[in-house]
Amino acid sequence: MDKDIAIEVKNLTKIYKLYDKPMDRLKDSLGLAKKGKFKEHKALNNVSLSVKKGETVGIIGTNGSGKSTILKIITGVLSPTEGEVNVDGHISALLELGAGFNMEYNGIDNIYLNGMMIGFSEEEIEKRMDAILEFADIGDYVYQPVKTYSSGMFVRLAFAVAINIDPEILIVDEALSVGDVFFQAKCYHKFEEFKKKGKTILFVSHDLSSISKYCDRAVLLNQGVLLGEGTPKKMIDIYKQVLVGQYPLPSSDVENLLDDESIREAAATADKRADAKIKGDDKKPKEDSKDQESVSDVEALEYGDGAAVITEYYITDNKDVRTNSIIKGTDFTVHMRVKFNRNVSAPIFAMTFKNVMGIEITGTNSMVEKAFLEPVKAGDVKDITFTQNMSLQGGDYLLSFGVTGFEQNDFTVYHRLYDVLSVSVVSDKNTVGYYDMNSICKVSDAKD
């Protein structure tokens, strides 16, 4: 293994046997089961990836994608069916809530128990005890059995132990979704400290904003298959396609996942859209001849089932001039034009601002604004506008558009365009954060 690699996963496969009845499991364990008494489920299917030392890598994917399974194999909690894992560095892991804790022991006893399981001596744990208790901040509850803890108290203690034993590699599985906002802020501050120290962090999270903000790279899993790895922004955009069943999988992956209806439908949709592109029926929005800056990025991510097509989009300033530069504090309008290719009962028109890291800053849609809740017919063309005051800090942003809706209670994407329009905010006063609160500050002499 390369000396710059902290974690290396090669051709990892994990197969579980699924039984209809407990008796079938018992017979199989005794070697008495007949064929067909169980089904094989591939939680991971030939997954390979590597994490460099000092990298922060996030793993994303839908439920059942194998995210937790791969972390458990890396940490040694599970054994792979096939493949191998190599780790260079001392690991501290925070997996499922309660993993590695004895419910009958109190907090102090569990600190020693976890520390020794990781490989620390009693003396080394004592040296770190004050730091652990300070970070956990659960007061005298640390002397009570952990079975009496709330989920928030539990994760506070578990995370305090995990990060205060000075690991070279920190692995976290969704644990930060538990706990109050102050504790979560403290945890992410610790993430920043670890990154500055060159520690390696691998974590699973459904919080896509955290993946965008803290990760150098993201890995996308779906149904046990590695769909891709790359920048957080790129992987999150693909993940959103997966969520609505519109990501075109390679044919080999489809064959391996024939029991998944959504995968087959996604592949079929991709084939139809590919045919449409060949025939010229599925064109990207045309360039705006009036303003060459307000044009689409030909490499932008685009998908949908074709029921509607966003044919035009642009921004106008407070003087109704098309532009992609807006002065902070002035009004501006986002425009989009949509053509419908079939009847839609209640389309939803949306727009979203992201920063250059891919973090969604703000956005809205016609349903939230209660602006349009009517059916449309095939051939209809609608012009949609969103007018607001520019309160974002000065800088560059990316604008995305979408037309979606619900069909028989299922969320459906008719057309989405990600990061297709750049917007520059011009400002002579930038405050802290993403937004200016437009505060009125007054200072006066104190009165007795």
CATH at residue 332? 2.70.50.60
Question: Are residues 189 and 296 located together in one domain of the fold?
Answer: no
Can you say whether the dihedral through the CA atoms of 435, 440, 442, 448 is positive or negative? Answer: negative
C-beta contacts of 235-241 below 8 A and 24+ residues apart: 235/60, 235/211, 236/60, 236/208, 236/211, 236/212, 236/358, 237/301, 237/358, 237/418, 237/419, 238/301, 239/60, 239/61, 239/208, 240/416, 240/418, 241/301, 241/303
Query: Using an 8 Å Cβ cutoff, are 393 and 436 in contact?
Result: yes
Tell me what pLDDT residue 414 has. Answer: 96
CA 427: distance to chain centroid? 31
Question: Are residues 208 and 289 located together in one domain of the fold?
Answer: no
260, part of any domain: no
26, part of any domain: yes
Tell me what pLDDT residue 159 has. Answer: 83
Tell me what pLDDT residue 209 has. Answer: 81
Question: Are residues 221 and 309 located together in one domain of the fold?
Answer: no
Question: Are residues 28 and 143 located together in one domain of the fold?
Answer: yes
Question: Are residues 218 and 127 located together in one domain of the fold?
Answer: yes
Query: Using an 8 Å Cβ cutoff, are 353 and 334 in contact?
Result: no
51 phi and psi angles, rounded to 5 deg:
-125, 125
DSSP SS3 for 424: strand
Question: Are residues 172 and 118 located together in one domain of the fold?
Answer: yes
**Where in the sequence is the domain holding 192, given as residue range(s)?**
5-241
339, part of any domain: yes
Question: Are residues 169 and 298 located together in one domain of the fold?
Answer: no
Report the alpha-carbon distance of residue 383 to residue 398 in Å, rounded: 21
Instruction: Look at residues 241, 275, 308 and tell me which one is the last residue of a structural domain.
Output: 241
Walking along the chain (448 residues) 10 residues at a time, the average pLDDT comes out as: 90 88 78 72 93 94 91 91 92 73 90 81 89 90 91 84 84 71 77 87 86 90 93 89 75 40 41 40 41 44 92 95 93 96 95 89 94 93 96 93 92 93 91 88 87
Tell me what pLDDT residue 288 has. Answer: 41
- One-letter amino acid for residue 244 of the chain: V
Q: What is the CATH number of the domain that holds 43?
A: 3.40.50.300
Determine how many CB atoms are found less than 10 A away from the CB of residue 448: 2
